[in-house]
Structure formats: structure tokens, C-alpha cells
Amino acid sequence: MIGATEVLPRAEDGIAADSKLTTFERRHAAGIRLGLRPRPFDAFSQQLRPRARYSVDVPPGRRGQFITEGEVVRAYSAFFFLPAIQVRAAPLVFRYRFK
């Protein structure tokens, strides 16, 4: 029987090898699709370690159909900075401003 632990790494390697996207583009694909600038995320991720706690300082921004731009940044940050942990208040603060 073949398990996910055998199949997933092969699938991920195949996607990376066959993708026409660069490593940078693959890493930021979701954020770019959301219209977020990738550089602030890369710069802040250099400060984080696994399980480090950080908070997000972002203005609300424009309101979309369901949520604000600020809420999008908070949600994307929670995913992008894993395995660090987003909390309401922390010494490490990710600051994002809209252009």
C-alpha cells in the first residue's frame, strides 16, 4: 500500500520541476494573486523562527465584497509565515502598508 508520505513528496517535486514559474514566483503565487507586494513578506520572514510569535500592523484598507484588504493581509500572513504563530500583540511586528 502506498501512503501520502510517499506520494506527496514526489508530487511536490514534480510540480516544482515541471513548473514554468521561478522559485520566487511559486513562493509568492497566492500573495501576487491577491495583489500583495512580496518583498515585505520576504524581509519580515528573515526575522522569524519556528513557533516565534508575531503580530500584524496593517490599516484596514479598502473594503471588498466580504472583507477588508487589511483582513486579507492578516489571513495571508498567518499562512505565509508558518510555522511562526500570529498573535494579537508580540514584540515582533509585521507592518504592511498599501500603496
Instruction: For residues 56 and 18, give the distance between their C-alpha atoms in angstroms, rounded to a whole number.
Output: 35
Residue 18: pLDDT band with limits 50, 70, 90: low
| Cβ-Cβ contacts under 8 Å for 63 (sequence gap 6 or more) | 69
**Structural domain for 73, as ranges:** 4-95
Cβ atoms of 54 and 87 within 8 Å: the answer is yes
Please choose, from the candidates 90, 86, 79, the residue with its C-alpha nearest in 3D space to the C-alpha of residue 36: 79
Side chain identity at 5, as an amino acid letter? T
Half-sphere exposure of 6 (CA within 13 A, CB side): 3
pLDDT in tens, 71-98: 999 999 999 999 999 999 999 999 999 9
Q: What is the pTM of this model?
A: 0.78
User: How many separate domains does the chain show?
Assistant: 1
Residue 15: pLDDT band with limits 50, 70, 90: low
